[in-house]
Amino acid sequence: MSPRKIGVTELVLRDAHQSLMATRMALEDMVDACADIDAAGYWSVECWGGATFDSCIRFLNEDPWVRLRTFRELMPNTRLQMLLRGQNLLGYRHYEDTVVEEFVEKSAENGMDVFRVFDALNDPRNMAQAMQAVKKVGKHAQGTICYTISPVHTVEGYVKLAGQLIDMGAESIALKDMAALLQPQPAYDIIRGIKETYGDIQINVHCHSTTGVTLVSLMKAIEAGADVVDTAISSMSLGPGHNPTESLVAMLEGTDYTTDLDMDRLVKIRDHFAKIRPKYAEFESATLVDTGIFSSQIPGGMLSNMESQLKAQGAGDRIDEVMAEVPLVKADAGHPPLVTPSSQIVGTQAVFNVLMGRYKVLTGEFADLMLGYYGECLGERNPEVIKLAQAQAKKDPITVRPADLLKPEWDELVAQAKELEGADGTEEDVLTNAMFPGVAPGFFKTRAEGPKNVGKTAEQLAAEEEAAKRKAQGISGPVKYNVTIAGRSHSVSVEPA
């Protein structure tokens, strides 16, 4: 009997550099690896969505739609995959249904194949419209379960949620572990439960590596019946990122499973990104392994954000208090999974609680979370905090799907984009401005200047390497010598090259 083939989703073009180096990698540093990625035999390549869209226009002066079309051209044999925040699309608010349909349609036209649709609260109502839109354009709709741990989250609950996603048209199910909380036994139990309950539905498993246990979790998920797992090429892996692709291949050797990935291609991909990675060292996370996440449940990106907030207030030494406060705020909010945007909302409120007193001041976003304007959480919200939110926001709690309260907005968004200098009138530009109205106008003005690479140049890296060598040799400044010529002493100063 031949080994069962396990599909692999490669993350190096999206979540790897998002998690390791704040999404700063420029397209020009990816294109030379695309031919090998296209030929390596991956089930899919995640290359768009998440924070990449924001970073393209905010930091890189790069059109994200051009990035997607470039990937489509360079990887014609590969399923391209994106991460889509359900009714939030790639922004930080809910959008009216027509906007969701337009975005999915344009993404498909520009080359997207697999849409991994998730909601920060695991509220199926916030995923339904995006899933339907994906099905409408004939692309792969992947319903996503955001994994977290709490007194109200159970294996049975996750299995039930998988069924709800299947009922709304999911072609596959993704178990998304954004904080490296998924331990081996729960991974096995959840995958096994979904397979036994719903039959041969495809299951993809996505784990970060921050806690150091999740490569084992991937193995247990595979043993339980998982069909596809997410990894990142080794030169862009580990820390708050992901498990190495080559390590997965090696782990499966001699077992009843195989990836059938082309190792020669993987080596070329590895070597390419090993050369690229030093350019972005200034953006790198310092985290290697952090088992404290099991108690704080704070994803790596969220931790660095809170640290910067505290330092800005001259309270950098209070990070431990904030980390202890986060699970308490999370519980008061009904135990939402901590993923964009809920992680930022809960984390910022925890900072406020530590600096100003518990719930003395509520952020507008946290008030909306407490009042149901982001959707429903699995757990019960603290009624006392709901009252505080109601008083501050001056509006009542809701139980309906939040997008049901939105008025049609597409025509207005089109009109807004037409007024912007540098916008070209395309629906892509309308969508870019709709998702990031504070950033897009500036991007449109400078777009014609072309992309900028925020990483260091080869010359800069070489200069830094030479400086490091001199420092290692103890030569950091001019060296003075006393030289005697014809009986006369001369002082000579030699500057480092």
Run of H or E including 143: strand 140-146
Check residue 484 and give its pLDDT. 62
Same domain? For 145 and 245 the reply is yes
Give the side-chain half-sphere CA count within 13 A for 307.
Answer: 9
Residues facing residue 202 across a β-bridge: 172
Tell me the DSSP string of 79-111: -EEEEE-GGGTTSSS---HHHHHHHHHHHHHTT
Residues 156, 106, single domain; the answer is: yes
For residue 341, is the peptide bond before it cis, meaning its omega torsion is within 30 degrees of 0? Answer: yes
Give yes or no: residues 77 and 206 share one domain.
Answer: yes
Instruction: Residue 257: give the domain boundaries.
Output: 4-280
Question: In 229-299, where does DSSP find H-type helix?
Answer: 245-252, 263-276, 293-296
What CATH number is given to the structural domain containing 158? 3.20.20.70
Kind plus residue range of the DSSP H or E element containing 172: strand 172-177
pLDDT tens digits along 261-276: 999 999 999 999 999 9
Q: 355, 383, 403 — which closes off a domain?
A: 403
Q: Does residue 241 share a domain with residue 369?
A: no
Give the integer Cα–Cα distance in Å for 381 and 376: 10
CA distance 86 to 49: 11
Q: For 330-339, how does the pLDDT look when each residue is reduced to its tens digit (9 = 90+)? A: 999 999 999 8
Distance, CA of 49 to CA of 422 (rounded, Å) = 23
> Do residues 85 and 163 both lie within one domain?
yes
What is the 3-class SS of 451-470, one letter each residue? CCCCCCCHHHHHHHHHHHHH
Give the pLDDT band (50/70/90) at residue 299: confident
Residue 180 has pLDDT above 60, yes or no: yes
What pTM was estimated for this model as a whole? 0.91
pLDDT at 147: 96
Rounded Cα–Cα distance for residues 18 and 12 (Å): 9
**C-alpha pair distances (Å), 211 with each of 11, 34, 305, 326:** 18, 30, 19, 18
User: 482-485 — which CB contacts under 8 Å span 24+ positions?
Assistant: none
Q: Are residues 17 and 77 in the same domain?
A: yes
**Domain C-terminal end among 280, 309, 341:** 280
The last residue of one of the domains, among 382, 403, 424, is: 403
- Token pair recorded at residue 454: 């925020």
- Residue 69 falls inside a structural domain: yes
In-domain check, residue 162: yes
Q: How many helices (H) and strands (E) does the chain have?
A: 21, 12
Q: Is residue 413 part of a domain?
A: no
